[in-house]
Amino acid sequence: MRVFLCLLVTVNLVWVQSAVAYEKTGHRVVAELAERYLSEVARNNIREILGNVSLAEVANWADEMKSNPDDYWRQANVYHYLNVPAGETFENTPRNPAGDVLSAYEEFMATLKSAEATRAEKEHALKFLVHIVGDMHQPMHFGHASDHGGNRVKVMWFEEVTDLHSVWDIFLIDKEKLSFTEWSNFLDKATPEQIIEYQKATPIDWIHEGLVMRDMVYAVGDRNFSWGYVYKYRPVIRQQLLKGGMRLAGVLNAVFAE
**252 membership: H or E segment, kind and range:** helix 227-257
CA–CA separation, 169 vs 105, rounded Å? Answer: 20
Helix, strand, coil distribution of the chain in percent, nearest 5:
70, 5, 25
| Predicted local confidence at residue 116, as pLDDT | 96
In this structure, are residues 208 and 142 in contact, taking their beta carbons and an 8 Å threshold? no
- Could you give phi then psi for residue 157, rounded to 5 degrees? -105, 100
Residue 178 lies in a domain: yes
**154 membership: H or E segment, kind and range:** strand 154-157
142-156 b/e with 16+ CB inside 10 Å = b?
A: bbbeebebbeebebe
CA–CA separation, 99 vs 132, rounded Å? Answer: 13
Residue 196 lies in a domain: yes
CATH code of the domain in which 74 resides: 1.10.575.10
- Could you give phi then psi for residue 7, rounded to 5 degrees? -65, -40
> CA nearest 137: which of 243, 55, 3, 255?
243
Pairing of strands 160-163, 154-157: antiparallel
Residue 221 lies in a domain: yes
Q: Please tell me the total count of domains within the chain.
A: 1
Residue 39: helix, strand or coil by DSSP? coil
Could you tell me how far CA 90 lies from the centroid of its own chain? 19
Residue 245 lies in a domain: yes
Chunk the chain into consecutive blocks of 10 residues (it has 258) and report each block's average pLDDT, rounded to whole numbers. 37 38 81 98 97 97 91 92 94 95 97 96 98 96 95 96 96 93 97 97 97 95 96 96 98 92
| Predicted local confidence at residue 258, as pLDDT | 66
In this structure, are residues 234 and 172 in contact, taking their beta carbons and an 8 Å threshold? yes
205-244 b/e with 16+ CB inside 10 Å = b?
A: ebbebbbebbeebbeeeeeebeeebbeebeeebbebbbbb
Domain with 43, as residue range(s), is 29-257
Residue 187 lies in a domain: yes
Residue 70 lies in a domain: yes
Cα distance between the two ends of the chain? 65
> Which positions ≥6 away from 180 have C-beta within 8 Å?
24, 25, 28, 29, 32, 56
Residue 189 lies in a domain: yes
Q: How many helices (H) and strands (E) does the chain have?
A: 13, 3
Residue 7 lies in a domain: no
In this structure, are residues 163 and 150 in contact, taking their beta carbons and an 8 Å threshold? yes
DSSP 182-250: HHHHHH----HHHHHHHHH--HHHHHHHHHHHHHHHT--TTSEESHHHHHHHHHHHHHHHHHHHHHHHH
